[in-house]
Every structure is written in structure tokens, then in C-alpha cells.
């Protein structure tokens, strides 16, 4: 049976404005890759990320360059060396997983040998002034895990405001590389005093050696500093955990390898996401089974998700149905 490849860019409005240290946006721009073979169809979604030099146009072009090879029958294993890690490979890899599940009459979970269960996900608070972040926290104070976007001046005041507004929630702080050599120790100390559970990527990737030389009373998680399994060994002594994202790793295949290698090296596991739809989150829910931290709230930040999408009940996200993915 001949394969048919299609790819399209889609936009999904965000509920309000999503702000991190690098800027704000009001919509999720995603790319969907569809691979059909006979009566079977697999889909994968990716989110091009400017931080890594990706654009919608560039990712569309990268997928298009693989069209003839995919139509000739390229599989997931050979894909790993045919393309670099990144959003384009993620969309293709996840589409191939979905297609394999459909063609074998099983599920991606069964292909992985797991029986997935609902997971507790973090809910993200956008970067804003302390009073505005407190209002966000207060509105979500019943959620057990909040992820707090930071990376600007006066972050200690933001942490304090969120903690006072949501005293029972566990907190993850995400500085998005926004802290400096001058304030990182002070901010970590402030976070420790307020009972923060985890801090993500406080310093810029490539300039994080200072973490080796300062007190770390709270676990520090690498995000921008880790993309694939080959990056893990350089993190030892700097970080305590890794944030695995399918768009960084270039798909579920490499993300599974990264997860297992990081775990073997004694690092904690967080599974995160870009702001995308349920189609992007679905394979990550399978990856996140057994993870220490889960941050798969992308659809909760959207004004409109795919239909059908993942089922969220409060902060619990259920495994995907085969109609959506896998």
C-alpha cells in the first residue's frame, strides 16, 4: 500500500495571554503531520519554537523534504538518523507511532507494554507583576501543582505572592533561563524558604556551570540544557532532574531513550510540553507514566482544543483514546 503524506499549519487561540520571560502570545501555532497507508491514518503534532531557531515555514519545509523518503516506507528507527531532533521530526515520529498502532490493531500503550493511568499535571501561571500572579494563583489554589513562570526582576516578590495566594499547592518555578549569576543564589534561597518543590532552568543553557558551585536546597531541573539522550551526561553535578519535551527530543522514540538514560543516571524525570493541543499531549501522557513531575496542561491554556481531545478533570489528565491518537 502506498503512503500518502500531508502537512498543515494550524492556529488555536489561547485563553487570554500566555507570557514567559521571552515574550507573550495569544495563540498556539502548531503543525500537524498526517501519514496514511491504505485505510489507516496516523497523526502527529509539533510546535515550532523560536528559541531553537524554528519557524512555521522552516518546519513545514523540513517535513516536506522527507516526503519521498516517508512515502518509500521510512520507519521510526531510521528516522532518528535521517533528521535532527526538533519539532519537525517530532510530528513525523508521533504520526508513525499512531499509524503503527492503527495498522496493528492495537494501541501505542500496548506497543510500549504499559497500562497507562490518569496523571496529575501542573497548571501554568503566566509571568506578570506579583499582584497579577497572586490573582492567577488564587483562582487556581485548589490545584495540587502550579508551575510559576518567572525570569524577570523582583522574582522573589512573585514567588512570595503566589505562595500566599495558594498556600496548599506545590510549586514549580520556571525561570526560562532568565536568572543571572548575580541573583540565582538569592532566588533559590527565597524559593527554599517558601517551600518550593522544584526549579526549572534558572540560568541560560551553556552558562549553567555556576550551579555546580552554589547551594541547591531545592532540586534543579534542566529544560533548555537538555534535548536528547546524548545531553544527559553533561548535566551530572549541575542538575537533579530533566524536563523531557517531545518537540525538543524530536519525537516519542528519542524521548523514551532520554527518559531511560536520565533515570539510569539518577536524575528525576519531568515530562513537559509547549503550548499545543491534545494531539501534541497524547503521546507525552504515555511517556509521563511514572514521571516525578508532569506538566501537560497545554490544552487547559487554550480557548479551543481539538475535538475529541484529552479528558481533563481538574488537574487529572486521562490517557488518550485511539480516536485522538495511539
DSSP code, position 314: T
How many CB atoms within 10 Å of residue 269? 21
* 177 close to 224: Cβ distance less than 8 angstroms: yes
Active site residue 210: no
Strand pairing class (123-125; 119-120):
unpaired
Which listed residue (50, 102, 230, 245) is catalytic?
Answer: 245
State residue 189 phi and psi, 5-degree precision.
-65, -40
Which listed residue (149, 230, 248, 257) is catalytic?
Answer: 149
Q: Is the dihedral of CA 234, 235, 236, 238 positive or negative?
A: positive
CA distance 200 to 203: 9
* Torsional class of 113: left (φ above 0), alpha (ψ -120 to 50), beta (otherwise): left
Q: What is the pTM of this model?
A: 0.96
For 109, the grid coordinates are 500503550
Residue 81 DSSP SS3: helix
* 118 close to 54: Cβ distance less than 8 angstroms: no
Helical spans, DSSP H, in 141-277 = 155-165, 184-193, 246-249, 252-264
Strand pairing class (119-120; 316-317):
antiparallel
pLDDT along the chain (326 residues), means of 10: 92 92 90 97 97 96 96 95 98 98 98 98 97 97 98 94 98 97 96 98 96 96 98 97 98 98 98 98 98 98 97 98 97
DSSP code, position 121: P
Active site residue 147: no
* Torsional class of 30: left (φ above 0), alpha (ψ -120 to 50), beta (otherwise): beta
CA distance 171 to 294: 12
| Distance in angstroms between the alpha carbons of the first and the last residue of the chain | 21
* 48 close to 59: Cβ distance less than 8 angstroms: yes
Q: Is 166 exposed, middle or buried (0-12, 13-18, 19+ CB in 10 A)?
A: buried
Domains of the chain plus CATH, in order, are: 3-106 (3.30.390.10), 119-317 (3.20.20.120)
Strand pairing class (170-174; 198-200):
parallel
Amino acid at each position: 500500500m502506498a503512503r500518502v503524506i500531508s502537512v498543515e499549519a494550524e492556529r488555536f487561540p489561547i485563553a487570554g495571554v500566555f507570557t514567559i520571560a521571552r515574550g507573550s502570545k495569544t495563540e498556539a501555532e502548531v503543525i500537524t503531520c498526517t501519514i496514511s497507508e491504505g485505510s489507516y491514518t496516523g497523526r502527529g503534532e509539533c510546535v515550532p519554537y523560536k528559541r531553537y531557531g524554528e519557524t512555521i515555514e522552516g518546519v513545514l519545509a523540513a517535513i516536506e523534504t522527507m516526503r519521498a523518503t516517508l512515502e518509500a516506507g521510512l520507519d521510526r528507527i531510521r528516522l532518528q538518523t535521517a533528521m535532527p531532533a526538533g519539532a519537525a521530526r517530532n510530528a513525523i515520529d508521533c504520526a508513525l507511532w499512531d499509524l503503527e498502532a492503527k495498522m496493528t490493531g492495537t494501541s501505542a500503550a500496548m506497543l510500549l507494554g504499559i497500562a497507562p493511568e490518569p496523571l496529575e499535571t501542573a497548571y501554568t501561571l503566566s509571568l506578570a507583576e506579583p499582584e497579577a500572579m497572586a490573582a492567577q494563583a488564587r483562582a487556581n489554589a485548589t490545584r495540587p501543582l502550579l508551575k510559576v513562570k518567572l525570569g524577570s526582576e523582583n522574582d522573589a516578590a512573585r514567588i512570595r505572592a503566589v505562595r500566599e495566594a495558594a498556600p496548599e499547592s506545590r510549586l514549580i518555578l520556571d525561570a526560562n533561563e532568565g536568572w543571572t549569576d548575580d541573583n540565582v543564589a538569592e532566588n533559590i534561597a527565597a524559593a527554599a524558604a517558601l517551600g518550593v518543590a522544584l526549579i526549572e532552568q534558572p540560568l541560560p543553557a551553556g552558562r549553567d556551570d555556576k550551579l555546580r558551585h552554589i547551594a541547591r536546597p531545592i532540586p534543579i531541573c534542566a529544560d533548555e540544557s537538555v534535548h536528547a539522550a546524548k545531553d544527559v551526561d553533561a548535566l551530572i553535578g549541575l542538575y537533579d532532574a530533566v524536563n523531557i519535551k517531545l518537540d525538543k527530543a524530536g519525537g516519542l522514540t528519542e524521548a523514551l531513550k532520554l527518559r531511560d538514560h536520565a533515570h539510569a543516571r539518577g536524575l528525576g524525570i519531568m515530562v513537559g510540553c509547549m503550548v499545543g493541543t491534545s494531539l501534541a499531549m497524547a503521546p507525552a501522557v504515555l511517556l509521563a507514566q511514572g514521571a516525578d513531575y508532569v506538566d501537560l496542561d497545554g490544552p487547559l491554556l487554550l480557548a479551543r482544543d481539538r475535538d475529541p481531545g484529552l479528558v481533563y478533570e481538574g488537574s487529572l489528565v486521562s490517557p488518550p483514546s485511539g480516536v485522538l491518537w495511539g
